[in-house]
Structure 1
């Protein structure tokens, strides 16, 4: 995984919480010199949704050279699931805001975002279920489980990054284009970073699909040979 634009790193072993505080002085972080823009969540707390979406990327879009050497085979997938959960929290703030201001925000747009989130979680759950345990992967005298882990992780990144882009499409329409959030340049930078990450994994998935197709074909041929013995 390579990043065209570095996402903020999350503390090791900790999930990123929704950003409810100032990100720091101007120029001191991803927010640059633009003022933060916040919405109220269901508890009434102010949330910087854009920063929350960006921070979610830092949970799983980690350049390969920067990954901890002690990562287990399923660690990156679990980080990606955490990233999707963080994106869902951010999306929930947007949906709640739309419910509170129906005259400004079409309910069908919020409903679409909810459906996209549910679909993302459904697919992520399937990937999590199909992946063997770390112990099985590391003790199995075969490359098969490692390939499964690579496939599942790559697919998970596609799912999470696609939902991140869905959230950003909604945010763009509601807050960037309207000028309510002035951080247009930062928004475009990280929107491009999410898109690049997804496209990189989509390209890699083509290789996975070819491998699976060839393995399936070889397996069928072998089954015919074994039945003839």
Structure 2
């Protein structure tokens, strides 16, 4: 927790294969009073012994009972890559249940949910091809990718996560009533400018787009910019 008595919460959803520790550096970026709630999905870190979830509906159903009790304070969702679609679908489910909605949805690293996949489904490829893809993305150390033991341990979770995102089936619903802010990596090989901008169709409350240095993953300086935007939105007094 970033404060003993929080006045707001920032829920963060990690990328495919990532865990809650992806956001460890964010705690020092948030002021006192804003609590960081980094989401830990099954199949990684301290939940390594659990099987990864393979369907988005099952994942949302598993997350909701843990998140709903924490939405009595102003809150915001941030999701990167896989986390973007998880945050989006979770916000939709919150609306269906008439639960308090996030102040905003901040997303990065993923095409808009209504768009079809513009590249192959990497999670379905053979191990060597899959390892090459992960090297290109740059988030998994080569020393791990080259060792069969670590492949056996990590690949099932990363594949399951990627398949949730890559094979996602969009259902048409009205736009969300919360703003969406998309942060784009200028050199992201997976998401194009048109795919960034298409997120605008998913909100009736205002869309913002910012591009940052970097590829599919952001360095700490760029993460600080995203965290800063989250803080601004959480501390802003809502318009009546």
TM-score by length of 2: 0.28
TM-score w.r.t. the length of structure 1 is 0.29
Greater percentage in helix: 1
